Amino acid sequence: MDQPAKSGCADIFPKALVAEDNANEALQLQQAFKKARIHATVHFVSDGMEVVEYLRGKQLFEQVASSTLPGLLVLNLGMPRLSGFGVLEWLRRHPHLRPSVIVALGNRPEERTRALALGADEYIVKQSGSNSAAGLVQALLQRFRPSTSRCLPPKVSEEARLALSP
Task: For 52-104, write each residue's pLDDT tens digit.
Answer: 999 988 655 555 444 578 888 999 999 989 999 999 999 999 998 888 889 99
The contacts of residue 60 (CB under 8 Å, 6+ apart) are none
* Residue pair 15/40 in contact by the 8 Å Cβ criterion: yes
Q: How confident is the model at residue 157 (pLDDT cuts 50, 70, 90)?
A: very low
β strands within the chain, DSSP E: 2-4, 15-19, 41-45, 72-76, 101-106, 122-125
Residue 31 confidence (pLDDT) above 70: yes
Residue 4 in this model has a pLDDT that exceeds 60: no
Given a cut of 60, is residue 1 above it in pLDDT? Answer: no
What are the residue boundaries of the structural domains of the chain, listed by start?
A: 2-164
> What are the φ and ψ backbone dihedral angles of 73, each rounded to 5 degrees?
-120, 115
Sequence-separated contacts (24+) of 85-88 with Cβ below 8 Å:
85/114, 85/115, 85/118, 86/48, 87/19, 87/48, 87/51, 87/52, 88/115, 88/118, 88/119, 88/120
Percent over 90 (pLDDT), the chain: 33
pLDDT at 67: 57
pLDDT in tens, 13-26: 778 899 999 898 88
Across residues 113-132, what is the average pLDDT? 86
* Contact between residue 45 and residue 17 where contact means Cβ atoms under 8 Å apart: yes
Q: What is the pLDDT of residue 144?
A: 72
Question: CATH: 1.10.3720.10, 3.40.50.2300, 3.30.70.2860, 3.40.50.300. Which one for 2-164?
Answer: 3.40.50.2300
d(CA 17, CA 19): 7
Cβ atoms < 10 Å from Cβ of 118: 19
Which residues partner with 74 through β-bridges?
18, 103
